[in-house]
Structure 1
């Protein structure tokens, strides 16, 4: 049974989070951009861009792994989340896929800790209440069904509103 004590919702800057893996809410080019993606590229340093260019992009919902360079982590898992278009283009399923793809990569890497941002809720405009429930449900369901060594999962929320919504969604799920 999934142990919710393994999950911490924290307020802060994901580029400062200490974890074995930091998840990047990337764009499909993997070449940096705004929001979390731009901040991670800037903090990690120019070597990250060089490594990301080798992938020639990544489809929405899939994931790619790079070194973390100047971040306080071993790896970065890059996953493009969906752009919200009213919910008519399979956005919820694609967001789940982003979390699952990232978790699968983390398990392959045999890491003990992983830090996620709130994927797709910034510039991609995914509704925060729905995205937080999808994130927490997907993480719980996946780790409940897979052999893994993950001991600590962090949801790193940049804003107070995001933090409060994740806490509310967690209360709804845990009871």
Structure 2
């Protein structure tokens, strides 16, 4: 399975499945969820909230509506807004469950954001390491490509460095080889 880090807006990506950084309620508010809802249309939020709430660390699937994907996998790495923050365990479980859902759907490509590292308050460097480990260790039946997406330049640089996806010259620039 190919694994790479890319930069951009997840709502602009093309893949069999896009992963939403969801809370357990599955209400699509801000951040990744808001970007996906804005591009997909309000129907995605209605379908997602009908499927919620779900347990922390689990995932649910909706149609992708107007997104350039077949499915959106809502991975609950954080509790409902205001009910706490993401943890190492919730990020690990949500990542693994999102990959399993993609495999169950026979997806060949999936785009995954930094689950739990935005409004959920988990440290990006630590979260990226957890997500990268889960992607690397996952044994897939169908997935051929996983793209770990970063929105900002800083997020992109951090994720590439932590997951080992940066080139040697990039690692030298960030001090990773010192």
TM-score > 0.5 by shorter chain:
yes
How far residue 11 of structure 1 moved from its aligned partner, in angstroms, is 0.8
Deviating more after overlay: 64-73 vs 42-51: 42-51
2:143 is aligned, of 138, 150, 168, to 150
Residues 1:102 and 2:103 aligned together: no
Equivalent pairs counted in the alignment come to 163
How far residue 41 of structure 1 moved from its aligned partner, in angstroms, is 1.2
Q: Which runs of 5+ in 2 are unaligned?
A: 80-84, 169-178
Q: Which runs of 5+ in 1 are unaligned?
A: 84-88
How far residue 168 of structure 1 moved from its aligned partner, in angstroms, is 0.7
1:167 is aligned, of 149, 160, 164, to 160
- Aligned partner of 2:119 in structure 1 is 123
How far residue 158 of structure 1 moved from its aligned partner, in angstroms, is 0.5
TM (norm. structure 2) is 0.85
Taking only aligned residues, the RMSD between alpha carbons, in angstroms, comes to: 2.1
How far residue 78 of structure 1 moved from its aligned partner, in angstroms, is 0.2
4+ residue stretches of structure 1 with deviation over 6 A?
172-175
How far residue 43 of structure 1 moved from its aligned partner, in angstroms, is 1.1
Kindly report which structure 2 residues correspond to 1:6-155, keeping only aligned pairs within 5 A, or say none: 6-82=2-78, 91-143=87-139, 147-155=140-148
TM (norm. structure 1) is 0.86
How far residue 49 of structure 1 moved from its aligned partner, in angstroms, is 2.0
